[in-house]
């Protein structure tokens, strides 16, 4: 099954068979909609993305995170992998819950943004956790370990304009 699910994740995964996925790449809410501000194209804008990104409470965020990760675990095959994007605001809570659910950490990958746009605070990285349910081997290319820093060039204007693309 090759598919991208762009929906409420828990009900959608409940429709999937157990042990059916080789890989999950999760882009979760960062829960940063708190009335703050950011920069976009040189203008000050609200960080509020919508109700789906507002943290009701820390307990809500942790409960939600454990619920969707439990569903991921149910649909993952024995040697499946999961990549989870996050920021310093949420990724360590995600990592803690992954350990509670007996996932094995493979790596914490940093995406370094080269030449990021101006921001209130200069942050030019993102974090990705890579976990496996059962870790039986180490992956390498030409006997070289894989790097935990991935450098990303600036997003092109064409890519920025694809934000609201239709499928």
pLDDT one-digit tens code per residue, 28-72: 777 877 888 777 777 888 888 888 788 788 898 899 999 999 999
Among the four given CATH numbers 3.40.630.30, 3.90.1150.10, 1.10.4080.10, 3.40.50.150, the one describing domain 17-161: 3.40.50.150
What pairs with residue 38 in β-bridges? 45
Using CA atoms, how far apart are residues 86 and 153, in angstroms rounded to an integer? 19
Joined tokens for residue 167: 């499928």
- What sign results for the dihedral spanned by CA atoms 83, 89, 93, 95? positive
pLDDT given for residue 118 in this prediction:
57
C-alpha dist (Å) from residue 59 to 38, 65, 129, 134: 26, 10, 21, 28
**Cα angle at 98 between 93 and 103, to 5 degrees?**
155
pLDDT given for residue 165 in this prediction:
45
What pairs with residue 108 in β-bridges? 129
Joined tokens for residue 156: 């092109």
Using CA atoms, how far apart are residues 146 and 108, in angstroms rounded to an integer? 11
Phi-psi label, residue 156: left if phi above 0, alpha if psi -120 to 50, beta otherwise: beta
Q: How confident is the model at residue 85 (pLDDT cuts 50, 70, 90)?
A: confident
- pLDDT tens-digit map of 138-165: 445 555 556 677 676 776 777 666 655 4
Helix (H) or strand (E) holding 147: none
């Amino acid at each position: 099954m090759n598919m991208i699910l762009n929906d409420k994740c828990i009900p959608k995964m409940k429709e999937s068979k157990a042990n059916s996925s080789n890989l999950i790449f999760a882009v979760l809410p960062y829960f940063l909609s708190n009335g703050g501000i950011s920069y976009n194209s040189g203008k000050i804008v609200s960080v509020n993305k919508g109700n789906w990104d507002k943290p009701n409470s820390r307990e809500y965020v942790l409960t939600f995170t454990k619920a969707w990760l439990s569903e991921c675990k149910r649909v993952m095959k024995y040697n499946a992998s999961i990549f989870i994007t996050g920021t310093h605001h949420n990724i360590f809570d995600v990592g803690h819950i992954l350990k509670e659910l007996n996932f094995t950490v493979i790596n914490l990958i940093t995406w370094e943004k080269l030449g990021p746009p101006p921001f209130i605070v200069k942050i030019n990285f993102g974090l990705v956790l890579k976990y496996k349910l059962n870790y039986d081997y180490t992956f390498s290319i030409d006997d070289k370990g894989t790097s935990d820093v991935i450098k990303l060039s600036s997003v092109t204007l064409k890519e920025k304009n694809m934000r609201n693309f239709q499928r």
